[in-house]
Amino acid sequence: MNGWARFALRRLAGTAAVVLLLSIGVFGLLYLAPGSVQQTLLGTRPATPATIAAIQARYHLNDPVAVQYLRWLGGVLRGDLGTSIRTGAAVSGMLGERLPLTLALTGYGTLLAALAGIPLGVLGALRRGRATDRLVVTAGVVGLSAPPFAVGLLLLVVFALGLGWFPVYGTGEGLADQVWHLTLPAAALAVGAVGLLVRFTRAALVRELEQDYVVFARARGLRAPLVLRYALRNSLVPVLTAAGLIVTGTLAGTVLVEVTFALPGLGSLLVDSVTFKDVPVVQALALLLTLLVAAVNLLVDVGYSLVDPRVRLGGAA
Amino acid sequence: MRRISFGVALALAVLVAVGVAAAFAPWLVPDATAQDLMTGITGPGPGHPLGTDDLGRDVLQLLVAGARTAVPGALAVAAGSMLIGNLAGLAAGYHGGWVDALAMRWADLMFSLPALLVAIVVAGVLGGGYGLAIAVLVVLFAPGDTRVVRGAVLEQRHRPYVEAALLKNLSSWRIMTRHIWPNIAPVSLASAFLNFAYALVSLSSLSFLGLGVPAGSPDWGRTLADNRTQLLANPWAVIAPGLAVIATAAALNVVGDWLHERVERRGRAH
């Protein structure tokens, strides 16, 4: 266990270093925005001596940049993400308000993707080379290529306008109604992840079914479902590597889907804030994103090493 | 001549059609962006096979003109990341040591970032628009090419022909570019096709969000965004550009996968 603990600790330290490095970039967004920092932070408010003094006091703009960064980081660590330029509200409150919808959307989308992608990949591998397999592979490639906003609008045209099965816009009231309202957005979000899962699951299972132990088990006369269970368990290890890709894809997809379906989540907040140059909100969202991506990559690495001990034995890389 | 599958043939046909539209759009549809506000948004009818959008522009003509907006940007991303990826990958794979370690750590870092989101944040905050978005995507795509090229170089590094070139005392630059590179070019090209597809989707996504091409440009993502509130009046104004993005990206992916498989099969035959 000592070796594994050391492996996990080293990965944790690496992740912390990356997050720290990226947080400098996130802070730097304030300085990247065109015009002076003071102007950016003032936004559309009039530049009176009083407002300028308030900005100076709030952000300590006369301090060296490094000190400003440390102050900002200290605030973030205490949960103070600053105030929105657009609304004047605390950024942390804005994020808290919109987080549940984004979590529900991504959770629902990931569930749909897993329910569709893994069985389709297994089906393709079992019917390898036949018409079913070719259909599954083609569907996977199309899913992988299709941008969520285009898929979302096509789903709207077909299932909301054409067939009238789902509502066009809105988030709904009550649990069942909300699920019903979120189904099309979640499906649009899931399509890319389905493509990835089909590809990874199929490739992994095809490789596994060619292994000697499968041939041997079949020769011994083991029942097909039992053989599949052995092969499936081993093939799910490489599928785990797809998890990181799926999460980053889903995060980007959420932004597009929320805008497409006019849902008030974190993704549409990011687009609104970016368009308005509401830098404190953009910084908070970018930081949240950095933490999420880093945490997922860490979990995938550590989870992988738990499932497959060879990774940490040769784990110098 | 090896037989190619129906799917690959179809994908190549789609790419040729998009390529022709992109190359000849100014002559095929000279007034694609001509507005006719009196007509406004209408469904398919005589003179307008796919109807018009909310500014009275013909949807079919916009679709053709959209290829000219979609292709060059995505091509620039694919070519730029291929160039950087080849230089960095050759250097990392050939020299090894700290060059390799540095390049790989850089690739790990960039690879874990969601490219589209970084492009949204950076291009949005800087307000640089399309050109900046392309630059951001090049920086974030290059690590993928670097890894692919490095892997291929490591495979070639100890082949007899490289050792022969070393014995002839040729410069490392010459060995890398003249001797090793021709052997890894197909791998790199297959990877570039996949980048092309991803760049096309990313750039049209940015345009959809209003962060890519300027307003009024005939762009697939932009047309979708402009007409999504008019679904009832003319759904084709949304369906056509949506299908165009999906079909083009899927065709690029199919051709990329096909090239990849061919390279692998040839590698095994050696």
Residue A80 lies in a domain: no
Q: If you measure CA to CA, which chain A residue comes closest to B232?
A: A161
Structural domain containing residue B108: 53-268
Average pLDDT over residues A43-57: 74
What is the percent of chain A where pLDDT is above 70? 92
pLDDT exceeds cutoff 90 at B30: no
Question: Are B221 and A149 within 8 A, CB to CB?
Answer: yes
pLDDT exceeds cutoff 60 at B269: no
A291 part of contact set with chain B, CB < 8 Å: no
**pLDDT value of residue A317:** 39
**pLDDT value of residue B80:** 94
Nearest to B125 among A150, A161, A282 (CB): A282
Residue B107 lies in a domain: yes
Structural domain containing residue A158: 105-278+288-307
Residue A240 neighbours by CB under 8 Å, 6+ apart = A300, A303, A304, A307
Question: Are B245 and A146 within 8 A, CB to CB?
Answer: yes
Residue B228 lies in a domain: yes
**pLDDT value of residue A316:** 42
**pLDDT value of residue B267:** 63
Residue A105 neighbours by CB under 8 Å, 6+ apart = A182, A185, A186, A189, A254, A257, A258, A263, A265
Measure the CA–CA gap between A41 and A88, rounded to whole angstroms.
Answer: 11
Distance in Å, alpha carbon of B178 to nearest chain A alpha carbon: 31
Residue B208 lies in a domain: yes
Tens of pLDDT, residue by residue over A179-190, are 777 888 898 999
Nearest to A146 among B114, B249, B254 (CB): B249
Residue A74 lies in a domain: no
**pLDDT value of residue B122:** 85
Question: Are B257 and A141 within 8 A, CB to CB?
Answer: yes
Residue A221's SS3 state is coil
Residue A51 lies in a domain: no
**pLDDT value of residue A183:** 83
Measure the CA–CA gap between A76 and A82, rounded to whole angstroms.
Answer: 8
pLDDT exceeds cutoff 70 at A170: no
**pLDDT value of residue A40:** 73
Residue A178 lies in a domain: yes
Residue A183 lies in a domain: yes
Question: Are A153 and B242 within 8 A, CB to CB?
Answer: yes
Q: Residue B131's CB: how many other CB atoms inside 10 A?
A: 11
Distance in Å, alpha carbon of A33 to nearest chain B alpha carbon: 5
Q: What is the mean pLDDT of chain B?
A: 82
Rg of chain A taking only CA atoms, in angstroms: 24
**pLDDT value of residue B232:** 73
Tens of pLDDT, residue by residue over B160-191, are 888 888 888 888 888 888 888 888 888 888 88
Measure the CA–CA gap between A160 and A261, rounded to whole angstroms.
Answer: 12
> Which pair of tokens denotes residue B236?
């084709």
Based on the structure, what is the number of domains in chain B?
1
Based on the structure, what is the number of domains in chain A?
1
Three-state SS annotation for chain B: CCCCCHHHHHHHHHHHHHHHHHHHHHHHCCCCCCCCCCCCCECCECCECCCECCCCCEHHHHHHHHHHHHHHHHHHHHHHHHHHHHHHHHHHHHHCHHHHHHHHHHHHHHHCCCHHHHHHHHHHHHCCHHHHHHHHHHHHHHHHHHHHHHHHHHHHCCCHHHHHHHHCCCCHHHHHHHHHHHHHHHHHHHHHHHHHHHHHHHHHHHHHCCCCCCCCCCCHHHHHHHHHHHCCCCCHHHHHHHHHHHHHHHHHHHHHHHHHHHHHHHHHHC
> Which pair of tokens denotes residue A201?
């699951």
Residue A59 neighbours by CB under 8 Å, 6+ apart = A37, A41, A68
Chain A hits for B115, CB-CB cut-off 8 Å, are: 252
In 3D space, the residue among B134, B105, B108, B109 whose CA is nearest the CA of residue B122 turns out to be B134
Q: If you measure CA to CA, which chain B residue comes closest to A134?
A: B7
Q: If you measure CA to CA, which chain A residue comes closest to B212?
A: A275
Residue A81 lies in a domain: no
Nearest to A33 among B7, B112, B125 (CB): B125
CATH number for the domain spanning A202: value is 1.10.3720.10
Residue A135 lies in a domain: yes
Q: If you measure CA to CA, which chain B residue comes closest to A148?
A: B205
Q: Note the pTM of the prediction, 2 decimals.
A: 0.84
Question: Does ipTM come in above 0.85?
Answer: no
pLDDT confidence bin for A52, thresholds 50/70/90: confident
Tens of pLDDT, residue by residue over A246-266, are 888 888 899 999 988 888 888
pLDDT exceeds cutoff 50 at A286: yes
Mutate to test the interface with B, among A156, A198, A274 (most CBs of B within 10 A): A274
